[in-house]
Chains A and B, each alone.
Chain A
């Protein structure tokens, strides 16, 4: 209601309208009455009112009408007495009926103009008010096109200075009514320059938008703020959320191949466990974490727990100067994720859904029972008997296809997301819900996730606003209990076999063992190990993750250029694990039907770790421009407190195994444990940006961090950074070269810390209580205490120093773009667990020792253009990193299993014997140095490395005539030095196509056991073994003879024979879409796109059949392979 004396504004109407729309929204979703939006009857005709008042102020009645409807009243308060007492009874009445009743017998006249009702009591008044109201009812419509004449759907058209607006439809048309005749319209669209056009009474306004110089005006997120991309002096890669394509169910997967220098490695296809591990510019630490800091709207979080559709942009901060504002958490780089926020204007709704099927494309192929017998030493007579038996009595003569019986499911996955946003100048809200459901190709594998987000912006006044965001998610994953049989007793169960070991069993158990008998009972498998029985009947391992983040951000701008910003963010998460291990009856003797239970006892365990962290920061920034000088300064304070606690409880012996809660197990076996811990970080930071003529750029960053993880004297440290930029393209001599649209040189240096040392109290000696310190007196268990760790009171930050030089180049009005960075990143005071004398009798703690260096380059090249209806883009990114250990505090080499690290070499090289061929005959064997065990022709021959200094010149020059552990050398590097990606996209008329490809080069893997060896420890034979292994008729083979091996066997030693080139090139995603325009329901849908997609389409690689190139180094075949996914989906915009 507007009581106008002189002026009135439009605010209230807009706010009211948006609230009403929100009501409609609920209706729309839950009742699905989409058509409701498309009615044409006039508002006054279709609106019904319910009123029942007696002897109340007129004002109250008017308020009620406004409340029930979208009507609002205009009148002059001096002339209309609103305090007059009135009576009104209306039941489903139209507005004019109500008003007639209300004003009967008075001089008040009413005029209804759409939703406005003008009240007057004189003709003059009527004319005046009508004039004002008519201004409001001006109409404008038109068409928005781009420079080529193509229509532009989705362009925002807003009345300047108000929140009234709309967006163009599929044909680029818009229409606005009820706007002031003297309004100015603003047309804006991503990638286009915004245009403002004054209506000046016109009703038809067609607009052509021109493309923005791509990227130059782009704003990117940096630490505690944003910056224009052109003014960046550090190395920051930025990706818009709209460019992220998710075809898996883990958000981290979308970061594969999007930014140079960012490596995302997905090494498992298991539902719920298929997230990618992220690295920025290689591996900077040995003893501490290598994971980058991931901040979601400024708060550390788990990227897999936000929905891809909520992401507005991702910034990858690679250089130390830009990252140093994050100090001790930023040594491994920073990834800033910014979520979408609502814009003012009409409500928009976006709905996506897709469906896909996963398929295992590259599984190892094994010999069937008869061929297996042939190559494992059975006689032809035995094979013939078996062949007859397979036909007559398959229970006693099994030919089990373990792989086929394991991957039995279709692996269906589905995802839905819905996002709604609307807003006025005072209040804007974006809400979204996402749901995904992914099954595996193996029974009992499933992962479901629900994600919700509400981002709200309140504007209290021109100087004060508050953002209030909530993000919550629940993930539920199920997998078969991670046991494969063979465990009988509590200790081994609790130490647990990981689930990937189940697949490890699948690839090792020979076909002559029975998985399931004809009557449906389970076979004994391999001496009681039957992975098929266990995944089907062995119980489930359930994990539920609840995650909640709230962000409250208040901004106060008391003076121009000055901004005070306050952020408080609590993050809560907890994980509820419930695991039931069932004891499955296996028939160990088919003839006698003898049953044995595997494992011997069933059991249930439940645990619940809970995490709460609170982040508080206060940032003051000030921007000032004086002539050609631009200053931007920022200072801030931040505190982070992390708390966690957990408990665990378990019981054995469930008589009724279908009741899988603690109460149903045997009380006598009840056990429990628990723990809690915390850590804190308190910091001050600042940044100064200065630019002269927008050409010469300077940035200085400094952070002081103090961590509770270190002793008081060592708690705090300073992390500075400085960077310079020169926008050469602003210099006249370049500006005249029209083909160069951007040219910038950047250089930066900075220092960062790493405090992720895995312990919260490394500086103090604790007397740990209970658990493995208890002892029995009599028949009861007494609690014990022990000091287990040697405290290191001097422990401090690991420090990373890096230098970056970069060049940004843009040609042909930014159609061709290039970003190139070279860098050197040196880590010193590395957190290492150096060996201490065993005499100390305590576990070594982390020490600051040694240093390591990563040097490399990142290059991103992109091209985009448009020819008529055809627009396309291509992006190529490549990065190379070379790692070198500079110092290991004189304790090198560090040899751990088959990994070797020493000064002057990359960290963690593969260590083993150098194969020099296959022994062809007994003479060759007797002439060679002794190796492992009794050798026969067909075994691998190893090189006798020089281990003796025969001429005392300090160099080892002679072999010692025997092969032993001293003959091991470095035989490969498992860390990829080169990674690259190629992203292509094209649009033609209604079609769009995107293809994402990526790959790595220079990566080696050592494979062992069942992954590559035939008949390993009683395992089976893969098809490629038959052709590629040595035999008297295939003497030129690279691989040894097919023979039973086990650990310690000559051929099973870690050697160059088993080191494979794991470089690959992968077509990761293909998506083909078609956008439907000119829909019959165009009043309802702005846009409907349907698409087909495929993920992990094909891979070019060099490994034996059935081995995924993502296989971890050192693997024996235990991994859940990564499936291909094929599916389709729709996008809908309202």
Chain B
């Protein structure tokens, strides 16, 4: 009996403690649904769509900067970046197919495209279960975001592989590069589908979604960049036509548009919104004054300062009201709205970047302390002498707070106006609507109505080549530090002229300054012969700010990442490189 009792207890234990195969091996994720069974109702499509939207929030590198800011400061003539990221490699011409940023961008855009593709290819599974309008709107938003990523890809790299499905194995994705113009055709078609399905505007709680106007504006931009001026003009015109019903309007205060007050501006058509606790940008740190705990890693160049017109509507080398002794007076108001210039007030201090200004003062004139914007006090200080005001939150600077919730604008109403004007100029279909489009933007810079031509320098010429100079300068100053300049200097083919130059800083002794740089028809500011008037930035640690170089035509495109070429090669497939790399 004892034996049986022992065996019984033993067996009982084994029954109590053992478990079956289902519990051990057939396990499912506890946190995420399986892609294969997802996309079964509208809620799931919306979840996926939100994930697709997130892909447009692209913050670059260690300073968490919107990509457009990185483009303008890292790779163009209007800004300079000394971040540890590798974008400045492009400015100094030492980028290669192994440069980290070259791979990072390529990868980032395809990640966004894949999220959109995953929604687009799977959503048909529930087509019949969902209201047709809602279904088409979801599809339209995904198409827009995919087009936005392709737009960045083709402008940066030229021909790229075009993928509109989700690869289930590496082999399926070994696609050859497709000609940029063929991709453009697809993007324009997709954006037309999107525009047709999308509403003019969304309810307040849905703001942040793509509208019909945004789809048309991106369509106009892509067409313009790719010299399809007819489509560019037509789409831009379509935006202008729905402006009043969609509520688009230029913000009367250009400067405020890029500060906290601008968040609800009617000019913003699409921006990515940030919030403490969700996501913030670090522009107060990256761009801010060193006296406010910023690091001033991105800064405007002297050449940008000199590109703003004088108030008489003329470039400074032709203006009668510009004086190098008072270089910031009588200038297009957008200069001071976009840039903190020496002697101006900012966040409670008087900003001063002159190397000899060892103390910084409060706005009441009392000394605050050592002046960290002076490179003698805190190298390299505000190294060209200027700090970006645009997108640097002043309220954050007052708090010595290095993060901000300022949204980064992807599309604002000034863009379709200038796209319309430029496309019509290129088509040589110059009429009053063209001048009106340009002058609306110029009048707003002065805070006046377009008809009040006495208060701002309106454009009156109808000469195509004159207008071409005007529209290019207008884009340069209107959109400085918004990510437009890189693609503009490429499509105007002026990068080879504006990039391989020394980067100078402010006039160190305005009292003695007499010389004015020459500005040519491409907007290129030449300091030939008058260099000594400017801060030459000859410090050994940053000679002439950067040894900028540009190798034409190679540098008009980024190289295809070496890793991608090598990966293809590992699978026995050849992926071509851009010329010169």
Task: Name the residue on A nearest B6 (C-beta).
Answer: A464
Min CB–CB distance B455 → chain A (angstroms): 36
Q: Which of B251-259, B383-391, B566-574 contacts A (4 or more CB under 8 A)?
A: B566-574
Q: Does B44 contact A (CB under 8 A)?
A: yes
The answer to whether the Cβ of B114 comes within 8 Å of any Cβ in the partner chain is yes
Question: Which residues of the other chain, B, contact A594 by a CB distance below 8 angstroms?
Answer: 368-369
Q: How far is the CB of A355 from chain B (nearest CB, A)?
A: 44
The smallest beta-carbon distance between A346 and chain B, in angstroms, is 29
Tell me which of A588, A645, A679, A783 contacts B27 (CB under 8 A).
A679
Give the residue name and chain of the B residue nearest to A651 (CB): B277
Q: Are A715 and B173 touching (Cβ within 8 A)? A: no
Residues of B within 8 A of A618 (CB): 14, 18
Whole-angstrom CA separation of A682 from B26 in the bound complex: 11
Given the known A-B contacts A528-B293, A838-B564, are A775 and B369 also in contact in the complex, defined by CB atoms under 8 Å? Answer: no
> Which listed segment binds B: A17-25, A246-254, A486-494?
A486-494
Which of A160-168, A506-514, A784-792, A1115-1123 has 4 or more CB atoms under 8 Å from chain B?
A784-792
Contacts of B13 in A (CB 8 A): 552, 554, 566, 568
State whether A676 touches B30 (Cβ < 8 A): yes
Structural contact, B206 and A784, CB atoms closer than 8 A: no
Q: Does A368 contact B (CB under 8 A)?
A: no
Instruction: List A residues 611-633 near B (Cβ within 8 Å).
Output: 614, 616, 618
User: Chain A residues near B14 (CB, 8 Å)?
Assistant: 566, 618
B31 near A787: Cβ-Cβ < 8 Å: no
Provided the pairs A489-B282, A775-B57, A783-B47 are in contact, do residues A764 and B34 lie with their beta carbons within 8 angstroms? yes
Known: A600-B402, A839-B163. A490 touches B276 (CB 8 A): yes
Does residue B492 face the partner (Cβ distance < 8 Å to A)?
no
Q: How far is the CA of A38 from the CA of B273 in the complex (A)?
A: 81
Pair B369/A778 contact, Cβ less than 8 Å:
no
CB pair B21–A682 under 8 Å, yes or no, is yes
Count residues of chain B with CB under 8 A from any CB of chain A. Answer: 100
Residue B170 at the chain A interface, CB threshold 8 Å? yes
Given the complex, which residues of A lie within 8 Å of B173, measured CB to CB? 836-837, 839-840
Please encode chain A, from 764 to 783, with 1 for each CB lying within 8 Å of some chain B CB and 0 for all others.
Answer: 11111100111111111111
Question: B33 at interface (Cβ–Cβ under 8 A)?
Answer: yes
Give every chain B residue within 8 A of A597 (Cβ-Cβ): 400
Closest chain A CB from B445 CB (angstroms) = 30
Q: How far is the CA of A676 from the CA of B32 in the complex (A)?
A: 10
B41 at the interface (CB under 8 A from A): no
A708-B25, A708-B27 given as contacts; is B6 within 8 A of A835 (CB)?
Answer: no
A965: CB under 8 A from chain B? Answer: yes
Q: Are B170 and A837 in contact (CB under 8 A)?
A: yes
If A568-B17, A777-B209 touch, whether A785 touches B10 (CB-CB below 8 Å) is no
> Contact between B54 and A784 (Cβ–Cβ < 8 Å)?
yes
- The reply to whether the CB of B432 lies closer than 8 angstroms to some CB of chain A is no
Q: Does A647 contact B (CB under 8 A)?
A: no
Cα–Cα distance between A976 and B149 once the two chains are bound (Å): 47
Distance of A774 from chain B, by nearest CB (Å): 6
CB < 8 Å: which of A616, A775, A841, A889 contacts B110? A841
Residues in B with CB closer than 8 Å to A1044 are 541
Residue of B nearest to A464 (CB): B6
In contact, B163 and A835 (Cβ under 8 angstroms): no
The reply on A182 being an interface residue by CB < 8 A is no
Say which residue of B19, B53, B111, B204 sits within 8 Å of A842 (CB atoms).
B111
Q: A554-B13, A768-B32 are in contact. Are A786 and B51 (CB under 8 A)?
A: yes
A639 at the A/B interface (Cβ < 8 Å)? yes
Cross-chain contact of B205 among A461, A558, A591, A780 (Cβ < 8 A): A780
CB distance from B113 to the nearest CB of A (A): 6
Determine whether A761 belongs to the interface, using a CB cutoff of 8 Å to chain B: yes
Check B131 for interface membership: any CB of A closer than 8 A: no
Q: Choose one: A706, A834, A840; the contact of B114 (CB below 8 Å).
A: A840
A614→B25 CA distance, assembly (Å): 14
A774 is contacted by which of B25, B204, B272, B278 (Cβ under 8 Å)?
B278
- Candidates B26, B47, B204, B278; contact of A785 at CB < 8 Å: B47
Interface presence of B107 (CB below 8 A):
yes
- Taking a contact as CB atoms under 8 Å apart, the answer to whether B277 and A671 are in contact is yes
Residues of chain A within 8 A (CB-CB) of B125 are none
Q: Are A767 and B48 also in contact (CB < 8 A) when A682-B24, A965-B98 are?
A: yes
Tell which of B26, B163, B370 touches A841, judged by Cβ atoms closer than 8 Å. B163
Q: Contacts of A781 on B, CB cut-off 8 Å? A: 275, 278
B566 touches A835 (CB 8 A): yes
B528 at the interface (CB under 8 A from A): no
B282 and A491 contact, CB distance less than 8 A: yes
A381 interfacial contact with B, CB 8 Å: no
Contact of A682 among B25, B279, B367 (CB under 8 A): B25
Whether A790 pairs with B170 at a CB distance below 8 angstroms is: yes
Determine whether the beta carbon of A489 is less than 8 Å from that of B208.
no
A669 at the interface (CB under 8 A from B): yes
Write out the residue numbers on chain B whose beta carbons fall within 8 Å of the beta carbon of A777. 205-209
CB of A21 to closest CB in B, whole Å = 29
B324 within 8 A of A: no
Given A787-B118, A840-B173; A769-B32 close (CB under 8 Å): yes
Q: Contact between A765 and B35 (Cβ–Cβ < 8 Å)?
A: yes
CB neighbors of B among A742-780 (8 A): 760-761, 764-769, 772-780
Give bound CA distance, A972 to B265, whole Å: 60
Residue pairs across A and B with Cβ atoms less than 8 A apart, 13 shown, are A490-B280, A616-B18, A677-B31, A706-B25, A764-B35, A768-B32, A774-B278, A778-B203, A785-B51, A837-B568, A838-B103, A838-B564, A889-B570
Name A residues whose Cβ lies closer than 8 Å to a Cβ of B: 460-461, 463-464, 488-492, 527-528, 552, 554, 556, 558, 564, 566, 568, 588-589, 591-592, 594, 596-597, 600, 614, 616, 618, 639-641, 645, 668-669, 671, 675-682, 706-708, 712, 715, 760-761, 764-769, 772-787, 790-791, 834-842, 889-891, 934, 965, 1044, 1047
A680-B24, A764-B34 known; 12 new pairs, CB 8 Å cut-off, are A464-B6, A554-B9, A589-B369, A618-B14, A668-B277, A708-B24, A775-B50, A777-B207, A785-B48, A838-B106, A838-B564, A891-B567
Q: Give 4 closest A-B pairs by Cβ, nearest first.
A: A841-B114, A784-B50, A489-B403, A784-B51
